[in-house]
Structure 1
């Protein structure tokens, strides 16, 4: 629906968070000024009113700054009609000249199901191209492949409630405390009330690992060996459910033989995985004797060269013990994106058709008849990495990118950026005016609706479909993505098949296809929802699939009594491949692992707008173990250049004892828009899993070396900060303005960095040319307007204090200490934010601890820190432990 401001809802709108796959319900109350007040929806079964730091800060991300509001061709504003005509003409010419293999569309887990369905239908059914893939390929396709190999279809067996009723929760490659915090807090609450045990299998000492009863800091890439050893030990100790295996599975003998060949005993398993024998023994014993076990896995499993085998090795252990599809039991994939599941349901992956159907003859014909498709794709298309390689070779000549930033996020991102520049037709549907992909030569730019304006559905990690409803009027000429697809389809002569007027009509067609000639043979069936009228669709409550016509809609688990979707209805054990041991390149002796941080999402086009979310970690960094740091001569707080065979990045060093020796960790969020040298995607190799095509983002051969700058500093301004020519820089949003951290060998140009300082502003400065120190503060009407600090070292105290003081008046004492000493004497109450939900900085928490708060609950009572999503609780507990260690005996 398109709303005018006068039609904006007066009551809060129930919608769904646009971040991770937990699928939290949100209540959004428009403020009639273009923003909204955000709260958790207490009636939504995913979160029951709780939101994480990112969800809580959604109201800070709704501004129209940096939005793409009008169609553009070659950088010039144009009309929708002209832009759509060119899109249609470009794809038509490419098809006629080069055939369907020369066109592609690259989608996003940020899209709604209706957007995904429309794109998949047009390309696979009417243009004859299966080159339809998604950035979800980068995060969960190994889970899809693992499900299909074992179950016959991409079925998530369990539900969220299992995470609260399990007696053992095993996290594999998942930092859920940071990446899925709301769900994680549900698990911790159950642990507190029921005594469930937590085991974390992760090379890094993450926030989740800190909370664990047992942490296994596994050698990267050896997860399948660990679970092979577990399978062998389960069999040796009599923990196999022989009745379930005999009645509902196949391939057990081959799988157990392969498991014994890979990891025949606990000692060998520990040696392969780089773990203590006692820890492996404890984990195997706990898994074996605990009936209710859920194994949760995420990107540390999926983003690997043997990711599908890792998934298979985990599933094998649950099949062998019959711990699947029953309350508190099963393998559980923690999905990364808000609608990665919806994309899987409609065939948003190049190797799938819609409604969980594959490219077999029967399914192709079934979908063709339902769509009355004139040019049905007959074989899988190119997966993401293959697709962009084909673009680089000139084989794909026309590309449409929707809602994602492949020039920053794909492996070998520099090569991707260059490949995009060579396209004959390059179309991008986006809601931001500038990003790395748009800057790579996008000729046609289509303004897409953003969260708050979108209308449709998403599916979360437990198969629950929720409505994402609009509560803001679409700004400028922004339009839904499904609408843009339909308009192009009409121009190509397919108007009747794409004659949708509302997203509800798209959804009903999608639901009808799921039930078409199904008769229980496919897991995904939401036929009951195909009968929703417009009013019912608008009011639709969160519902879990399957929702078959005529069936009672209840919480559903799969496979407790078999019923798999293989030809003989039996699950398939997988004999996983032996571990691949790539040869270490002497020039790149370390292994680079990439991932997320607590308060940012993907490439920060949304979270980067929030000053709270930018306050916890403000600059790109690399974590390294102290032993590796000493060998490489890099020190904590300094800079280092991380290189691979594909690119380089200059990052701030964090020496972390919890980082595994021989490995580096760097976050994925910084791009060419937000940093000078922080594009970690440029380093990642393009090695992919042979089954899923998912790239390995966890083990790129890399090297690290120190980088020295004579000067470091920061600039803050209530207005603009200009483009920086400094050798190293990173942008950060701050309260009431903008911030820039930088480093160079020469002082920056004041006019360049702070172009809005006016002649009438009062300038107060401190200059020590001999030491290279420059500290300037500009005041307008007595309030801090801008400042610039430069010197030979870091300015952490001044940065953390002043970033919150723009627009305020400083006392003479504060100003004197800042300019003369370079630090804030009363800065203890500042520092980086620890609790982003409630805006509580480190200094306030430290003050509460000094005042007698002896545990996290007491800190929460005193400061509110840690009382919302809980993702800051590990850091709070670390601060408490540190204070105790320093306290006099």
Structure 2
């Protein structure tokens, strides 16, 4: 059977995938975004298809129900909310994981027929500030440039973007261009020294929140160098361009001179800029500089917002944010809301914007939302001040959750659970960060009773009396309606236009190749855009809730290379857990002199707390702490960092201040630390602190720490994994609180349990894990078992290259044999030849590992 051409469900790069029904995946060499390459997450997509925990049937009040019963319950919940609270008492919270057709249906139901603007997307946490910045500067939410501009530029500036980890395929395109043109420069602006800094020409370690001051400084510098523009608003913008950067003057001067002297310059900005109480101003400060320099919509030049999710752009196109209407129409443009009302035949069209995400869940907590439908996202984990969000979800009388998995903290709280189709099963379109629309196609049958999200929406709409406007026969019909809608309210000056695709037949839709908007006529395709623009004043404002004596450190949250959002898809895949298996907090060693590297530390903020493994990283800016945002109750309940995160928002975009939370660190005193390796999961309730880590087929790693006496914990935990006809090998030293045990049956290793008073006293886990696949371990391994490592010291080292499973020790050995470049290491080991996101780490090993002198 031929492969199915589809699109990756992860980041906003929008990579093409060739997938087969058996789950085999590879990059699509014909897709313009990735040209055949996939990142570590994309490469492992096949391993995410048949995971346990799939939601297969509707449920109401914790019991399996028929679709009719569940849909009737949803409709009744919304009907009651409308009666009790009016349209503003209903809400939908949706996701960049939805396809455009699902997004369109959800927005049409909310704004057109429920009559509420209360539909918002988790893109509010990701790209809302860029949207608001685009609208202020261009009058429309659009990205002017193309991915190839990163390759054509002579200067690429990354602002709040760890491109190497978060968008690795684009980073490898950029690195390939730099290798071909060594004069090309890369500047990284980030408080952390991230993987993207390896090999960069300049790193500006700016303090969190000072991006506006930096680009205001650049604007003044450009003006002083003689750059001028006729665009409106320049004088007022220059007058407001204040703020001190706090950067080393020599580094700052280098950046200013390079930007001024380089006509082909791209500034790529992402969550590090957007997730701020001044995120919109950061976007506009960047755009202001490009506008003054005349570098918008030119080959190799422009401001470039890179989205976090595969269909964040598609959601923006259909108006699935509380502040926008479908098709880039606006409430405040005369006639546009009327045109949409007439097109949908929706006399109850929402009269204006609704509640943005943080405000929406605050309203739910105050009892003002009677019915809330959450689709394909996990706000109980992902939103700031997440403890309050969980309480809001509990308080919502009718909480509906559509998802493909049961393994979601939000689904746990839902009264009605609807089984949605997942990647590989659903059919529709997504739009990536360079405006390319690609098809996601089904290549597997729907499991159980799972159904498309658009279908469930249409069924509820019919039960509420609106069957006609939702009587679609499939996603192609929804796409045609969406495309035709983009032609409304012309000749308004709007770039977004899919009119040329509004008459696609079902067969043409099924075969649709990647196409970039605007597409005003059949056979046309969009390129770079040169929008009419205006300057926007961006006076510097410090972060909301600044650090102080009580909370002296600034918390930054972000992403890991191999994980995705709240880990419902990537967390159960052992090789994606191998690189960063535990929830950690990174800090400069000088900021935590009394807290040892590897110890457990408690992060405390005015909103909550979390306990994580502390890692000393000299590349961290002083005064900051970095924590990945991924961990949930399924994997590490005490490490859910967003419960501590600052809920302040940008006044324009409503995007939260996820990159600056005032915190303090405290030790998390434990009587013992340990780990349990077992052939089944024992969950996350084993100890005061537990991290559950999938380590292989039917193999689970439980990292733990507790406050009970070590001997009691040792006995209790052993009892949990005992099996018939199995025997323990024990080593106990109560005087030093060292406790070690291995459970074997006929030479087969069933479990290992190690406890110690200090985490540094525990052995590496790698060698022990490598023994579990053996049907019976040899006598030498049995003798070394309680030492935790073989006598010859040949234990496995950490995996660096996830794509090809290459460990650090293998890479270092190849370097020692003379592989003294990235290319030679790749030839010798294959490391770095997949997605390339491990290449910065390989470069760091090259810098540290002695290379033999030529003979």
Task: Give the TM bin, normalised by the shorter chain.
Answer: over 0.9
Mapped pair 1:818 → 2:807: no
Mapped pair 1:169 → 2:156: yes
Specify the SS of the correspondent of 1:789: strand
In the superposition, relative to structure 1, how do residues 652 and 362 fare at CA in structure 2: closer, same or farther (>3 Å)? same
Deviation at 1:739, TM superposition (A): 1.6
Provide the residue aligned with 2:248 in structure 1. 276
**Aligned-partner Cα distance in 2 for 1:635–1:417:** 33
Specify the SS of the correspondent of 1:90: helix
Output aligned runs, 1:16-35, within 5 Å: 16-31=7-22
Query: Quick check: 1:711–1:793 contact (8 Å CA) kept in 2?
Result: yes
Mapped pair 1:667 → 2:658: no
**Aligned-partner Cα distance in 1 for 2:719–2:102:** 42
Output aligned runs, 1:303-382, within 5 Å: 303-360=275-332, 361-382=334-355
Query: Quick check: 1:734–1:804 contact (8 Å CA) kept in 2?
Result: no
**Aligned-partner Cα distance in 2 for 1:225–1:296:** 17
Query: Quick check: 2:206–2:247 contact (8 Å CA) kept in 1?
Result: yes
Deviation at 1:202, TM superposition (A): 0.5
Mapped pair 1:430 → 2:403: yes
Query: Quick check: 1:342–1:459 contact (8 Å CA) kept in 2?
Result: yes
Query: Quick check: 1:720–1:754 contact (8 Å CA) kept in 2?
Result: no
Specify the SS of the correspondent of 2:595: coil
Deviates more, 1:806-815 or 1:276-285: 806-815
Deviates more, 1:777-786 or 1:728-737: 777-786
Deviations 1:762-818 (A, max 9, x none): 443333333222322233453333222222333765412223432214332233223
Query: Quick check: 1:13–1:28 contact (8 Å CA) kept in 2?
Result: yes
Deviation at 1:882, TM superposition (A): 1.4
Provide the residue aligned with 1:787 in structure 2. 752
Query: Quick check: 1:171–1:199 contact (8 Å CA) kept in 2?
Result: yes
Provide the residue aligned with 1:573 in structure 2. 535
**Aligned-partner Cα distance in 1 for 2:578–2:30:** 31
Deviations 1:344-394 (A, max 9, x none): 000010010000112224211111011011311011000000101111111
**Aligned-partner Cα distance in 2 for 1:210–1:777:** 42
Match 1:628 to one of 591, 611, 630: 591
Provide the residue aligned with 1:213 in structure 2. 201
Gapped runs of 5+ residues in structure 2? Answer: none
Provide the residue aligned with 1:405 in structure 2. 378
Specify the SS of the correspondent of 2:400: strand
Match 1:386 to one of 359, 369, 372: 359
Specify the SS of the correspondent of 1:778: strand
Query: Quick check: 2:756–2:762 contact (8 Å CA) kept in 1?
Result: no
Deviation at 1:753, TM superposition (A): 7.0
In the superposition, relative to structure 1, how do residues 826 and 68 fare at CA in structure 2: closer, same or farther (>3 Å)? farther
**Aligned-partner Cα distance in 2 for 1:796–1:474:** 45
Provide the residue aligned with 1:554 in structure 2. 525
Specify the SS of the correspondent of 1:162: helix
Provide the residue aligned with 1:12 in structure 2. 3
Deviation at 1:874, TM superposition (A): 1.1
**Aligned-partner Cα distance in 2 for 1:762–1:483:** 55
Deviation at 1:885, TM superposition (A): 9.6
Deviation at 1:518, TM superposition (A): 2.9
Specify the SS of the correspondent of 1:704: strand
**Aligned-partner Cα distance in 1 for 2:25–2:617:** 35
Deviation at 1:59, TM superposition (A): 1.2
**Aligned-partner Cα distance in 1 for 2:652–2:718:** 49
Gapped runs of 5+ residues in structure 1? Answer: 1-9, 264-271, 565-570
**Aligned-partner Cα distance in 1 for 2:792–2:450:** 47
Query: Quick check: 2:767–2:788 contact (8 Å CA) kept in 1?
Result: no
Give the TM-score taking structure 1 as reference length: 0.93
Give the TM-score taking structure 2 as reference length: 0.96
Superposition RMSD in Å = 1.8
In the superposition, relative to structure 1, how do residues 517 and 555 fare at CA in structure 2: closer, same or farther (>3 Å)? closer
Mapped pair 1:154 → 2:149: no
Provide the residue aligned with 1:676 in structure 2. 637
Query: Quick check: 2:729–2:742 contact (8 Å CA) kept in 1?
Result: yes
Mapped pair 1:841 → 2:814: no
Provide the residue aligned with 1:136 in structure 2. 123
Provide the residue aligned with 2:517 in structure 1. 545
Provide the residue aligned with 2:724 in structure 1. 759
Match 1:775 to one of 725, 729, 740: 740
Provide the residue aligned with 2:69 in structure 1. 82
**Aligned-partner Cα distance in 2 for 1:853–1:826:** 25
Provide the residue aligned with 2:819 in structure 1. 853
Query: Quick check: 1:797–1:827 contact (8 Å CA) kept in 2?
Result: no
Deviation at 1:187, TM superposition (A): 0.4
Match 2:560 to one of 597, 605, 612: 597
Specify the SS of the correspondent of 1:637: coil
Query: Quick check: 1:829–1:847 contact (8 Å CA) kept in 2?
Result: no
Provide the residue aligned with 1:268 in structure 2. none
Provide the residue aligned with 2:840 in structure 1. 874
Deviation at 1:470, TM superposition (A): 0.9
Deviation at 1:256, TM superposition (A): 1.7
**Aligned-partner Cα distance in 2 for 1:818–1:720:** 21
Provide the residue aligned with 1:479 in structure 2. 451
Specify the SS of the correspondent of 1:765: strand
Match 1:656 to one of 593, 608, 617: 617
Query: Quick check: 1:620–1:670 contact (8 Å CA) kept in 2?
Result: yes
Deviations 1:314-357 (A, max 9, x none): 00010001111011000001110111000000001001000011
Provide the residue aligned with 1:512 in structure 2. 484
**Aligned-partner Cα distance in 1 for 2:403–2:456:** 12
Aligned length: 845
In the superposition, relative to structure 1, how do residues 304 and 753 fare at CA in structure 2: closer, same or farther (>3 Å)? farther
Mapped pair 1:116 → 2:103: yes
Output aligned runs, 1:641-652, within 5 Å: 641-652=602-613
In the superposition, relative to structure 1, how do residues 171 and 722 fare at CA in structure 2: closer, same or farther (>3 Å)? closer
Specify the SS of the correspondent of 1:446: strand
Deviations 1:688-746 (A, max 9, x none): 00110000101111000122323222122223325533011101111122221111133
Query: Quick check: 2:768–2:788 contact (8 Å CA) kept in 1?
Result: no
Deviation at 1:497, TM superposition (A): 0.6
Specify the SS of the correspondent of 1:106: strand
Provide the residue aligned with 1:690 in structure 2. 651
Deviations 1:557-606 (A, max 9, x none): 111xxx52xxxxxx110111232365533211111111011111111000
Query: Quick check: 1:69–1:447 contact (8 Å CA) kept in 2?
Result: yes
In the superposition, relative to structure 1, how do residues 324 and 205 fare at CA in structure 2: closer, same or farther (>3 Å)? same
**Aligned-partner Cα distance in 1 for 2:277–2:166:** 22
Deviation at 1:863, TM superposition (A): 1.2
**Aligned-partner Cα distance in 2 for 1:142–1:805:** 50
Match 2:235 to one of 253, 266, 273: 253
Match 2:24 to one of 27, 37, 50: 37
Provide the residue aligned with 1:3 in structure 2. none
Deviations 1:52-89 (A, max 9, x none): 11111111111240111110011100100000001001
**Aligned-partner Cα distance in 2 for 1:715–1:846:** 29
**Aligned-partner Cα distance in 2 for 1:715–1:352:** 50
Deviation at 1:11, TM superposition (A): 1.5
**Aligned-partner Cα distance in 1 for 2:36–2:718:** 42
Deviation at 1:750, TM superposition (A): 6.0
**Aligned-partner Cα distance in 2 for 1:705–1:41:** 49
Provide the residue aligned with 1:453 in structure 2. 425
Deviation at 1:214, TM superposition (A): 0.4
In the superposition, relative to structure 1, how do residues 256 and 885 fare at CA in structure 2: closer, same or farther (>3 Å)? farther
Query: Quick check: 1:162–1:294 contact (8 Å CA) kept in 2?
Result: yes
Deviations 1:427-475 (A, max 9, x none): 1111111321122x31100011111111111100000000011111111
**Aligned-partner Cα distance in 2 for 1:826–1:572:** 68
